[in-house]
Structure 1
């Protein structure tokens, strides 16, 4: 539960309500634990989250509330793909555009877009976020893309709103960022023929995989650039301590120079496992 000055305290929910306890951030993102995402916004402040979103190119209106962590402010797939591309580029933002070059019938260039970017985010922090989102694709709520045959290095995040009104998957390789939204214009919930709700992992991620398989066909594997001040440690996903021979399901995490192992521990206060349930009304 997050205390809110001048309003009712807010308790973010997941699809499951089982308490899972402490965990590292990578495990929380892989398992889409909403309470951890909400705590991060509480610690940093919604205003700082919005400032970061602006640096990534998000222009849509964002409410400065804690539930911003769960996607309560709507933005377009184009903005999502563009913002995630900033991470794919190591923190360098490029403004999206439609037309690269215009030529006449003789092949003479009449107009050409000069491509240039600006650094918006620290490269080391960006790589840590990439490392977190690679876990989502490789073993988390977005791992369906691996089962469907997409095997290039990739990172991404699923999202599902309360009532299954929106199913999202936004992901990227080092060369291509793609966002998929599935939903009805009339605001109807997404359900299969058995009446089960369709999540981002079930509805949007398979479409993403189908497109990316075709868009990257023949492209050789290319790894995300690792900043020189980055190091990797294998840790216990619950305690954050260095893994031992008896550690269950150890995880490799990316740490910046001088960053301790314990700096990524959070507490899940409400939930067990879910796709992101994003329509919790924030204070």
Structure 2
């Protein structure tokens, strides 16, 4: 009995690939899947039908390449190709997953640059001890190819973090600051991806000093942060805000975001606690009073009364000035 089987929906694609392939004995498709007649039956792929089909191909002027998938019309290419993904993963299992990552690092780098899909496959399937060795080698090596580094931080790293979180995840995220530009981009990817556990970013931000937490918030303020992501990481942002160096730009940014999500957090205690800390810090700025008053009035958690008290203090001080 065959050990592999295609989905019913993939049969037309497989048939097309087999028809485009040559019938030489050393053809990789014939070796991998057998002759097309073995899969579709003699009646279905008769000589007459084959000739007619080849005529159709010539009429449509479809270029024949070494890759049967690439030989198809653009409109016919599937968004997700289970045949190709299976082949890629089989090849990776044979060629890379069992390799020692440091000894064969140059080979891994070369293959990843040739096919960016490999970053995610490696991140999902490499054993954790190999992942740790790979990260350490990249962090300790100077002059690593910049394209590889960019893809490593933006594709490999997020995919790896989606595996079960471990102490290793946090450790590698902290040490990743050795490439600050790529690391900053990674943090934005993590922040915007609500499929990642929120504690990953929270635990990381908790390890930062005051200047680093301030820089983290400034990075967010200069980026297009979705409302859903701000809500998802509300506790993390509050953690960074409490310890950050405040300035007028940062205050205005936090106020705008708190106002944007106020209706979603009318009874949320975490939001109320954040709003209270914001008001305590805003005593030194005393701006946007009307906007702040509207936010406080609509809030209904146990923190509303303390927020009203501080808001009144700010309003009185502003009148005295």
Fold in common (TM above 0.5):
no
Q: Rg larger in 1 or in 2?
A: 2
Larger strand fraction of residues: 1
Bin the TM-score by the shorter chain. Answer: under 0.3
Structure 1 length as normaliser, TM-score?
Answer: 0.26
Q: Using CA pairs below 8 Å that are at least 6 residues apart, which structure has the higher relative contact order?
A: 1
Larger helix fraction of residues: 2
Structure 2 length as normaliser, TM-score?
Answer: 0.24
